[in-house]
Amino acid sequence: MFRMIEVDNLDAEELRIYACTSEVQLLRYFEPAPGLFIAESPRVVERALEAGYEPVSILAERDLMNEAAGEAQGGREIARLARRILERCSDVPVYAADMAVLARITGYHLTQGFLCAMRRRELPTAEEVCSGASRIAVLEDIVNPTNVGAIFRSSAALGFDAVLLTRACSDPLYRRAIRVSMGTVFQIPWTYLETPAPGYVRDLKRMGFAAAAMALREDAVPVDNPRLAAEGRLAVILGTEGEGLRAETIESCDYTVKIPMAHGVDSLNVAAASAVAFWELRKFR
């Protein structure tokens, strides 16, 4: 089945990628080749495996590993998920420790006691990601990994086909972004835009998309405007927390779009705004 390696030495070399390596160091771990990322929780790890990502090692709570090793028909759902992963990763080192030790290694309490280090892959081009897409989300300089993860989750759930990000955005494969997305970063195609703002809007139009900038302006149309829903290919562009989209980006777009609101509220968190916009502009009505 698998060989569980007991861990009690926090300085063990094999745990360095979990304990002492920052997100940026993981990203550059095999530079110039793609590096590593850490997926957390059995459900998220399973989605990464299903998407074809290669596991390097697993670090998990000892009790969970023991339960998974003895699991047959019943038991907790988390143990059944862990067992499925272990069966798929029989040649991958599995390190196990008490929850308190895991917290000391990783620096925080693991709610589900399961981490997997995985290899990144070369990213596709924007043209490859958008081939055949009718609805895409574009993220301009969104730096909070929680917001990035939440937008991915909304994109996947509400039928958007792909996500494009400017280079200043938080990495979708940062641990927190993956966790908040519930693993949907592995289910929806994504990549970075090579052209900085506002030039990337021209690239979107060249690929056949109408560009809709989410912004508060006097000339903005409401998100439920029928013209938006009628567009065959639509790119919904969301801006950074606080400042929003660059003025040059907005001017380059075909539409400026707002979400009508009550009680004098002038804006929503970018992740919340994305869910409202994606629901209204989805194609699978």
Are residue 16 and residue 68 in the same domain, yes or no?
yes
* Domain count for the chain: 2
In this prediction, residue 99 carries a pLDDT of 83
Are residue 14 and residue 112 in the same domain, yes or no?
yes
pLDDT in tens, 163-193: 999 999 999 999 999 999 999 999 999 999 9
Domain that includes residue 131, residue range: 126-281
End residue of a domain, out of 64, 91, 119: 119
Are residue 22 and residue 111 in the same domain, yes or no?
yes
Are residue 138 and residue 275 in the same domain, yes or no?
yes
Are residue 83 and residue 160 in the same domain, yes or no?
no
End residue of a domain, out of 59, 93, 119: 119
Are residue 102 and residue 133 in the same domain, yes or no?
no
With 0-12 CB in 10 A as exposed, 13-18 as middle and 19+ as buried, what is 142? buried
End residue of a domain, out of 51, 85, 119: 119
Are residue 229 and residue 274 in the same domain, yes or no?
yes
pTM for this prediction: 0.91
Tell me the pLDDT of the chain averaged across its residues: 90
Are residue 190 and residue 112 in the same domain, yes or no?
no
Q: How far apart are CA 154 and CA 13, in angstroms?
A: 38
- The CATH code of the domain that includes 38 is 3.30.1330.30
- The CATH code of the domain that includes 241 is 3.40.1280.10
CB 115, CB 39: distance < 8 Å: yes
Residue 213: partners with Cβ closer than 8 Å, 6 or more residues away: 237, 239, 245, 249, 250, 253, 255, 256, 257
Are residue 98 and residue 147 in the same domain, yes or no?
no
Q: How far apart are CA 237 and CA 130, in angstroms?
A: 14
Are residue 159 and residue 274 in the same domain, yes or no?
yes
| Tokens at 89, concatenated | 């990763």
pLDDT in tens, 116-158: 999 999 999 999 999 999 999 999 999 999 999 999 999 999 9
Smallest Cα–Cα separation from 238: which of 272, 202, 266? Answer: 272
pLDDT in tens, 214-256: 998 888 999 999 999 999 999 999 999 888 999 999 999 999 9
Are residue 200 and residue 221 in the same domain, yes or no?
yes
Are residue 49 and residue 93 in the same domain, yes or no?
yes
Residue 13 CB coordination number (10 Å): 8
